A and B are shown apart, each in its own frame.
Chain A
Amino acid sequence: MRGFLKTILIAVFGISSIHAQNRQLLYDFNEIPQALMLNPGMKTSQRWHVGVPMISGLFFQASTSGVTVNDLFADDGVDFTTKVQERVLDVMTRRDDFGSTSQIEGFNIGFRGKNRPDDYYSFGMYGEMDIISYWPKDLALLAFEGNGGSNIGRSFDLGDLSLRGEMVNVFHFGINRKVNNTLTIGARAKLYSSIFQFQSIKNSGSFRTVQGQDNIYNSIIVADMQLQTSGVKGFYDIVDEDTGTTRKDLTSLFTERVLLGGNLGLGFDAGFTHQLNPQTTITGSILDVGFIYNSNDVWNYTLEGTASTEGITVFLPEDIDNVNNDLWQDLVDEIDEALPHGENQSSYISLRPIKAYGSIRYDFGEGGRSWSENCGCAINTGDGANSDFYRNSVGGQLYMIKRPRGIQAALTGFYQKRVGRGLSLKTTYTVDKYSLTNIGLGLNLQAGPINFYVLGDNLLGYGNIADSHYASLQFGFNIISWNDN
């Protein structure tokens, strides 16, 4: 039990690595090729780009809307159980969540069509891990307080359990097209290669103990719960066997799954950029509209049924001839039968977390020729109808993501400054359920063909990261060419 609790707590707080997934600093940061991944209809200016393999796009994000690591683990001399009671059990609700997302780009390449210079093609591969767990408030209270004492009569909601996680490798190919001087559109097809996936998102039911009709207490459980997993048992079995080749076997299975050897899925992204006037631009995109069909290495666990018990009951004269002394075991069997828990290997479809971005931007401060003036592609440059022509941009962004318990949104205000041909800075202020003080800073540096960017979120939290509700960092290197050479 101790190990189990430790595992749960470490999982809950340790994996806090994704959840919000909002990448507001990167969105519409046109100078960075990876911004195409957030809006395939972004305005592109380069002739081609090549991300430096494995380090072109590294993204880590962690979020918690409730308790922070510091709240619990600060060396403050307060009894740990008291901290859990006061900072978790007493204040967190079922809408609070812990999340974590990380993304590592394997490669990312883009090039402009020779015959169709208005088209910019990009393709690549990236791995993503995404985990979210809502705080199972009633289940936690049941574990910590029990159903007795003041909780007699209380209904514990089994639907409070809601979690989802996956690790997936994504192969993608996108086309970005300048339709005219004011409109750019784009779309990206995605092939998902699942490494593992699990979800327990459609649970319902309750457990309560009330005054019995005959006996003192009647405990009633109504449950319809399911944990679906794919790709998990394969890894578990290797670790469980613990042979001398465990590491090799894990690597081999992981590699196989990365390279389309596991469950597969399809999806797409789409987006646009529309210039309302020379200085005002609106953008929008929708990402990861897709699914994965889980049919290999599937193990699902279910608990479904209704049971109630008042203990062993004997009614005379009805039971006078019942000389069976296994009434206790009969009772246990009866409950077990009424509340079957089982396993199955039924295939299932898991939906990717759909994300949507929108923005409006106002450019100002004419700064002369743009950094991409030499692209030779006649794309999105010149005539002053190009934000690159302006040194400053200010605007707002809206972000939404579909989560197991509904849509989460974030609102961002930003200011971007371009300095010369090589430097661009962006600062954001974001409001969402995790933070009201999220200030981010991003820097993009272009030194010849070498491009480097680093974007950091919630910088005010950096004073004590363990006490931060939200943190994200992304950076990468690319080689970009605007020239024919």
Chain B
Amino acid sequence: MKKLFFHVLFASIIMLLLSSCTEEQDFSQIDDLSVTPTLASGIFYLESDEETINSAGGFGTFYSQTINFDAFNETYVAERLLEGVIIYEIENTTSKRADIRIEFLDESGNPLYQEAFTVEANPSETFTREVTYGPGGLNLSILTNTSSLRVTGRNLGDATSVSSHPEPKISLSSAAEFIFRLK
């Protein structure tokens, strides 16, 4: 019985050692790994009360500013940008029809593209626009070459009327959701 036990034990050890092996592994597969996260962030928010719009006068420009914006033209970002959308939302509780314009400017200040919004006075719903970049949409080079944004807000109404809303204002929100290739 004892002999049998050890024969079995030794045989097991030898078989295990002889049979120890590993299936073929292909470590080069790691080169095929694709990492493409979707990153989301707020971009720009402009808010103005009605008094400020009135103070610009009828059909006057109540805001105009050129803002340095390098979010997409940083080399690391620009090289990895695949596709995505920029979302714009506009709310207007003033009594004014208004025009808001965002121009994408290159390093020399030349316009590459512009997004223009005309919003009616006190609309019942939030105005939303989603602009696609990349396949099926606008060229990504618009973003990757953008160095600054020129934002202009213009009153398309009179300079005296006041909304009955308790806090009348106009606001532009914007955010980006883009897919990047990290690997």
Our pick among A2, A75, A81, A146 for the contact of B26 (Cβ within 8 Å) is A75
Instruction: Find B43's partner among A143, A149, A214, A312 (CB 8 Å cutoff).
Output: A312
Residue from A217, A309, A320, A459 in contact with B52 in the complex, judged by beta carbons closer than 8 Å: A320
Give the chain B neighbours of A309 by CB distance below 8 A.
41-42
Report yes or no: A311 in contact with B25, Cβ–Cβ below 8 A. Answer: no
How far apart sit A327 and B177, CA to CA, in the bound complex (Å)?
A: 21
**Residue of chain B at shortest CB distance from A417:** B5
**Alpha-carbon separation in the docked complex, A69 to B115 (Å):** 50
B21 with A463: CB separation less than 8 A: yes
Known: A75-B25, A216-B174, A216-B175. A148 touches B67 (CB 8 A): no
Instruction: Decide if B52 touches A317 in the complex (CB within 8 Å).
Output: yes
A425 at the interface (CB under 8 A from B): yes
Q: In the complex the two chains form, is B45's CB within 8 Å of A316's CB?
A: no
Task: Name the one of A143, A146, A317 contacting B49, with C-beta atoms under 8 angstroms.
Answer: A317
From A70, A148, A214, A327, contact of B68 by CB (8 A): A327
Given contacts A313-B45, A466-B22, contact A80 B171 (CB under 8 A): no
B39 touches A148 (CB 8 A): yes
Is there a chain A Cβ closer than 8 Å to B118's Cβ?
Answer: no
Which chain B residue has the least Cβ–Cβ distance from A330? B68
Among the listed B29, B65, B70, B177, which residue makes an inter-chain contact with A148, where contact means beta carbons less than 8 Å apart? B177
Q: Is the CB of B177 within 8 A of A323?
A: no
Q: Are B33 and A462 in contact (CB under 8 A)?
A: no
List of A residues within 8 angstroms of B40 by Cβ = 146-149, 152, 209, 217, 219
B30 in contact with A467 (CB, 8 Å): no
Q: Taking A145-B37, A146-B37 as contacts, is the C-beta distance between A329 and B68 under 8 angstroms?
A: yes
Query: Which range contains the number of A residues in contact with the other chain?
Result: 35 or more
Least CB distance, A326 to chain B, in whole angstroms: 5
Our count of residue pairs bridging A and B at CB distance below 8 angstroms stands at 192
Residues of A412-444 whose CB lies within 8 A of B: 417, 419, 425, 427, 441, 443
A5-B183, A145-B37, A325-B66 known; A80 vs B44 contact (CB < 8 Å): no
User: Which label, helix, strand, loop or mixed, suits the secondary structure of the A interface?
Assistant: mixed
With a cutoff of 8 Å between Cβ atoms, the chain B residues found around residue A417 in the complex are 5-6, 9
- Does B95 interact with chain A (Cβ within 8 Å)? no
Q: In the complex, what residue of chain A is closest to B170 when comparing beta carbons?
A: A316
Give bound CA distance, A441 to B12, whole Å. 10
Given contacts A209-B40, A310-B45, contact A325 B67 (CB under 8 A): yes
Can you list, as one digit per residue, whether each of A4-47 has a CB less than 8 Å from chain B (1) or not (0)? 01100110000000000000000000000000000000000000
Q: In the complex, which residues 45-62 of chain B have their Cβ closer than 8 Å to any Cβ of chain A?
A: 45-49, 51-52, 55, 62
Contact residues in B for A144 (Cβ distance below 8 Å)? 35, 37
Tell me whether B127 is interfacial, beta carbon within 8 Å: no
Total interface residues on B, CB under 8 Å, equals: 61
B183 in contact with A2 (CB, 8 Å): yes
A217 lies within 8 A of B23 (CB): no
A215 in the interface (beta carbon within 8 A): yes
Cα–Cα, bound, A463→B19 (Å): 6
Distance, CA A425 to CA B44, complexed state (A): 73
CB-CB contacts below 8 Å: B67-104 with A? 67-71, 87, 89
A454: shortest Cβ distance to chain B, in Å?
Answer: 9
Of all chain B residues, the one with the shortest Cβ separation from A462 is: B20
| Contact residue among B25, B63, B179 (Cβ-Cβ distance under 8 Å from A316) | B63
Chain B proximity of A445: nearest CB distance (Å): 12
In the complex the two chains form, is A311's CB within 8 Å of B9's CB?
Answer: no
Contact of B39 among A147, A215, A216 (CB under 8 A): A147
- CB-CB contacts below 8 Å: A303-337 with B: 309-317, 320, 323, 325-329
Q: Which of B133-183 contact A (CB under 8 A)?
A: 148, 151, 171, 173-175, 177-180, 182-183
Pick the contact of A70: B22, B42, B43, B46 (CB < 8 A).
Answer: B22
**A325 lies within 8 A of B65 (CB):** yes
Which residue of the partner chain A has the closest CB to B25? A73
B31: min CB distance to chain A, Å:
8
**Bound Cα distance from A73 to B27, whole angstroms:** 6
The CA of A172 and the CA of B2, in the complex, are separated in Å by 40
Q: A80-B32, A214-B171, A441-B13 are in contact. Are A467 and B68 (CB under 8 A)?
A: no
The verdict on A425 contacting B9 (CB below 8 Å), with A146-B37, A148-B39 known, is yes
Across the A-B interface, give the 5 residue pairs with the lowest CB-CB distance, nearest first.
A146-B37, A148-B40, A311-B42, A148-B38, A462-B20
B residues neighboring A (CB under 8 Å) = 5-6, 9, 12-13, 16-17, 19-27, 29-30, 32-35, 37-49, 51-52, 55, 62-63, 65-71, 87, 89, 148, 151, 171, 173-175, 177-180, 182-183
